Structures are given as C-alpha cells and as structure tokens.
Amino acid sequence: MMRCSKCGEESIIFLHYVRKHLCARHFIGMFEKRFRSTVREFGMLKKGDRVALGLSGGKDSTVLLHCLHDLQKDLPFELVAITIDEGIAGYRAATRKIAEKEADRLGIEHHVVSFKKDLGKTLDIILKTDQSRACSYCGVLRRGLLNRKARELGADKLAIGHNLDDIAQTVLMNIIRGEPSRSRRLLEPLITNEAFIPRIRPLLRTPEKEVAIFAMARDIKIDHRECPYAESALRQDVRRHLNELEEVHPGTKFKILSSFLKMENQSRNSKTQDAELETCFSCGEPCSGKRCKFCEMTSCI
Amino acid sequence: MEVEDLNCFPQHLTMKLILDGRAKKVSHKGNLASLLKKLGVRREEVVVKVNGRLAPDTAEPEEKDTIEVITVIFGG
C-alpha cells in the first residue's frame, strides 16, 4: 500500500507533477484550496454576486456546483444553476437527472432550458442530416441559451466547469488553427458588454482526472457516459497527444496554462483598453462580428 | 543455474480486471502504471480502483486483487 506523503494514511492518488502521494483527506483539502485560490487570484467572485452555473450534470459542472456551494459558507453570494437540455437521446436525460438531483440535494435554485422549447428542435433533429459540425452547433447554441438565461435570472457571472485539460487543449488548438487571440476568451471577465454575462472558470487549474477522483472521494454522483456526438477530430487528437505528453513530462498542462497566462499578461500590459464586443444586428446579443453565430446557425436549422 | 536464480525472474500474478465494466483475468507483475501501459490505456484518462478503493498508479496490486479501470476522460 502506498502512503500519503503528508500523514502516512493510505494514498488514493500520486500527483506526478509534484511527485507526491495524497490520502483522500489531503487530496480533498488540496483540491478545495486550489479552487479557492483560483477564485481569489483571478477575482472571479465578490461578496453579493449572483452567480449562474452552467450545470450539465457531467462531472466537471457537478463538482463545481459542490465547490461553489461550499464556498458560499465563507463568501456570501447567490448561486443558481442552469441546465441546457439539447435533446440528445440516450445521453442528456441521465445527466439532466443528476443535475436536478444534486441541485435539489444542496437546495440550489435550478432552471432547465431546452433546445426543443427554445429553438423548436432538439439537437438530434438539427443534426439529422449532417453530424459533421455537431460540436460547433451544440457549443454555439448552448452558450447562447446559457447567456440569455443567466441574464434573464439577473446573474453577474456565469460559472462554467472548464478544467485545466479543456484550457490547455483550447490554447493549443487556437495556436494550431492560427488564431491565438481567440484564447483571450478564456479570460472573459475582461470583456465589457452589458448583454454578455462574464464567464468564470474556477476549475481552470484543476486537471480533469482530479475532478473525477475528487467526485469519487467525496461520494458525488457522476455519470461516466460519453456524448454520442464525436468531438472535432482536432480536439480528440490534441487531447490524446497532450495526455501522452503529460505521462512522459508531468506538469505539461500546467505549463501550457502558465505560458498562456504570461503571454496574456504581457499583451494586456501593452494595451490601453479592454476588448469590446459588437452587438448582433439581428438579435441584439453580444458578438465578435456584425451578426452572431447563434443567429447564423438558427437561420440554417 | 542454481534454483534461487529462477526466483530472480518476475513472477506474474493473476488478478481480476474490470475495464470499463468488462471483466477478465490478467497476469501481471508490477505497478498499476505498467499494467495500464500493457493494456494500451492512457494513465491520464482513467481512474483505478483496487478492491473497490481508489489507488495511485504507483501501487503494486497483489494476487487475486480486483482492479477496476474506469475511463473518466472522453469527448462531450
């Protein structure tokens, strides 16, 4: 049996990037401390904020729900949860049920927005003839509905469960695509637009595997089902290569994040004003061009 | 070769493996990381339990242990 580097109890994880074994108690403590220091260092929350959480019922958002709920004991802020039901047969119903159950268990106000009700069609119907851009459609429409609902609920911040793996993959993908500036969106509280609810990512320093282990160590129910729509080939490749690199060179994902933050810091210091968004001429939502992706997509479905 | 020398060779142990719900028997000597490698599973994408308890990949399972490998990272 391997022993915790801190107390000698039975180890549940070996953190290769710091070469330490941790028992359940010390792992949970380290995880929560990192979550809280991330919230503090990035100025993600302040007293009295109304925070809407995008709660899919997957492991990341469910763990984030618990962490934010725990944080409320020390920092008074309001928390509401929003679940987007895209209408994916054999997948979303199970995670939606977890979202409903967990929000109810913690006494958190919970809202469900469905593609079917709001867009008139489920994602399954939208993709019936062409599944090649499944994740683009789903991502744009889901983000659009989340922003609208969060605004309708009077939220100051929109919390999402992106973890370190998601961030490292996105940074690399944007470099590979030749669009490095798109990564700025990962630090959205800097962007100013009344209609856009700033997004916060309190798990951005947390490796995805640790999210799953935290959930298991704390007996938080998670679903191990995979979305039936394959992700973009590029993200799948980047994920695989990153995980292989991490195995050989532990800490790679953290280093990608810290390099990105350093570059952002340098570029921000050389600018005099924050980035601004345009307003879509069609629906009035914030966007980066003249017409938002949400309107572009809904006009085609 | 003397008899003791034979004991220098690693002796493989038989264990029950449950890989994403599918059970089978495996023979292995070494830690969980080397078992995952042998199975072609990326360490970063799974959580491992030994006899129902979370275990670090540095742990060395023993004869008749039940090793559960759960994939926790995939698309979607």
Q: Which residue of B has its CA nearest to A218?
A: B54
How buried is A17 (Cβ within 10 angstroms: 0-12 exposed, 13-18 middle, 19+ buried)? middle
| B62 contacts chain A (CB < 8 A) | no
Beta pairing partners, A202: none
Cα–Cα distance measured from residue A27 to residue A42, given in angstroms and rounded to the nearest whole number: 22
Confirm whether B76 is domain-assigned: no
Question: What's the confidence (pLDDT) of residue A298?
Answer: 85
Confirm whether B47 is domain-assigned: yes
How are strands ordered across the β-sheet holding B66-71?
A: B22-28, B13-19, B66-71, B46-50, B53-54
H or E element, residue A63:
helix A59-71
Total tally of structural domains belonging to chain B: 1
Confirm whether B20 is domain-assigned: yes
Cβ contacts of B56 on chain A, cutoff 8 Å: 2, 11-14, 21
Cα–Cα distance measured from residue A169 to residue A256, given in angstroms and rounded to the nearest whole number: 9
Cα–Cα distance measured from residue A127 to residue A124, given in angstroms and rounded to the nearest whole number: 5
Question: What's the confidence (pLDDT) of residue A266?
Answer: 82
Interface subset of A 86-115, CB within 8 angstroms of B: 91
Q: What angle do CA A188, A31, A85 make, to 5 degrees?
A: 55
Using DSSP's 3-state secondary structure scheme, residue B70 falls into strand
CATH number, span A28-298: 3.40.50.620
Tell if the CB–CB gap between A209 and B72 is shorter than 8 Å.
yes
Residue numbers of the domain that contains B49: 3-71
A and B: number of Cβ contacts within 8 A: 73
Average pLDDT, chain B: 87
Quick one: tokens of A188? 């959205």
A123: Cα within 13 Å, side-chain hemisphere: 26
Kindly report the pTM of this predicted structure. Answer: 0.89
Tell if the CB–CB gap between B47 and A247 is shorter than 8 Å.
no
Q: What is the ipTM for the molecules in this complex?
A: 0.86
Residue of A10, A12, A203, A223 to mutate, interface with B, max B Cβ within 10 Å = A12
Cα–Cα distance measured from residue A218 to residue A208, given in angstroms and rounded to the nearest whole number: 16
Domain boundaries, chain A: 28-298
Q: What is the amino acid identity at position A172?
A: L
Question: What's the confidence (pLDDT) of residue A210?
Answer: 98
Would you give per-residue pLDDT tens digits along chain A (301 residues)? 899 999 999 999 999 999 999 999 999 999 999 999 999 999 999 999 999 999 999 999 999 999 999 999 999 999 999 999 999 988 889 999 999 999 999 999 999 999 999 999 998 998 888 887 788 888 899 999 999 999 999 999 999 999 999 999 999 999 999 988 878 777 765 556 778 899 999 999 999 999 999 999 999 988 877 788 866 778 889 999 999 999 999 999 999 999 999 988 887 777 555 566 788 888 888 887 888 888 888 888 7
Confirm whether B9 is domain-assigned: yes
Band of pLDDT at residue B4, cut at 50, 70 and 90: very low
Confirm whether B58 is domain-assigned: yes
Question: What's the confidence (pLDDT) of residue B7?
Answer: 46
CB of B45 closer than 8 Å to CB of B74? yes
Write the CATH number for B54.
Answer: 3.10.20.30
H or E element, residue A95:
helix A92-106
| A11 contacts chain B (CB < 8 A) | yes
